[in-house]
Amino acid sequence: MAFELPPLPFDEKALEPAISTETIRFHYRKHHAGYVKKLNELIPGTHYAKMDLQQIIVEAAPHKSDRAIYNNAAQTWNHSFYWASLSPETQGAPEGELLDAIDLSFGSFASFEEQFSKTAADLFGSGWLWLVKGTDQSLQLLPMPNAGCALTEGVLPLLVCDVWEHAYYLDQKNERAKYIQQFFSRINWQFAAKNFASTNLN
Ligand code: FE2
């Protein structure tokens, strides 16, 4: 089964001025598309060929010999989750049960923003910062290096921030903190709330 690059959920210009059209265009058309292409080159003839993307990620993760398959499968899935985590409109803060859960787990929404920003800034090298719901229902920040995907950790991902340099270097150069601030202002809280209400890993 060949995987396809899913359409962006918004126009490439939609995140201006927080994230530029050029950044979204390169990130989506070159990086995300590149992972999908590479994955489709790697899986034919392997036992992964009959699996869906999430199965490939979970099955390949423990096997060092399948690292390239894991990396490209996870990067394919992570990027789709990242686009969904972004909103063309500035939404401010979440509401309802998700906001209550953030208050309970992080003290307050302001404290959550502070911890989110610091954890993303402190993630060494390339990687992903996930907001996840654990099996005890608490929310946690989960920084993962390289192609790290929360699906391998038995937790429910709510949203993700891509902190690879390709996500911000055209706009912010080496200033990751500025990108994190812009990302935070465009978090799609409706997407996170939908995931929070879900009981299944998706
Ligand atoms: Fe990326």
Angle at 124 between CA 31 and CA 131, to 5 degrees: 75
Beta strand ranges found along 77-201 (DSSP E): 127-133, 139-145, 156-162
Tell me the CA–centroid distance for residue 167 and ligand 1, in Å: 5
Tell me the CA–centroid distance for residue 107 and ligand 1, in Å: 30
Q: How far apart are CA 39 and CA 48, in angstroms?
A: 11
* Helix or strand (DSSP H, E) at 82: helix 67-84
pLDDT along the chain (202 residues), means of 10: 93 97 98 98 97 97 97 98 95 92 97 98 97 94 98 97 97 96 96 89 47
Tell me the CA–centroid distance for residue 161 and ligand 1, in Å: 9
- Burial label, 50 (beta-carbon count in 10 A; 0-12, 13-18, 19+): exposed
Tell me the CA–centroid distance for residue 126 and ligand 1, in Å: 9
Q: 143 phi and psi, to 5 degrees? A: -80, 135
Looking at residue 26, its pLDDT comes to 98
Tell me the CA–centroid distance for residue 27 and ligand 1, in Å: 6
- Cβ(150)–Cβ(130) below 8 Å: yes
Nearest to 104 by CA among 130, 138, 142: 138
Tell me the CA–centroid distance for residue 100 and ligand 1, in Å: 30
Beta strand ranges found along 116-196 (DSSP E): 127-133, 139-145, 156-162
Tell me the CA–centroid distance for residue 162 and ligand 1, in Å: 6
CA 52 to chain centre: 18
Tell me the CA–centroid distance for residue 164 and ligand 1, in Å: 6
Tell me the CA–centroid distance for residue 48 and ligand 1, in Å: 23
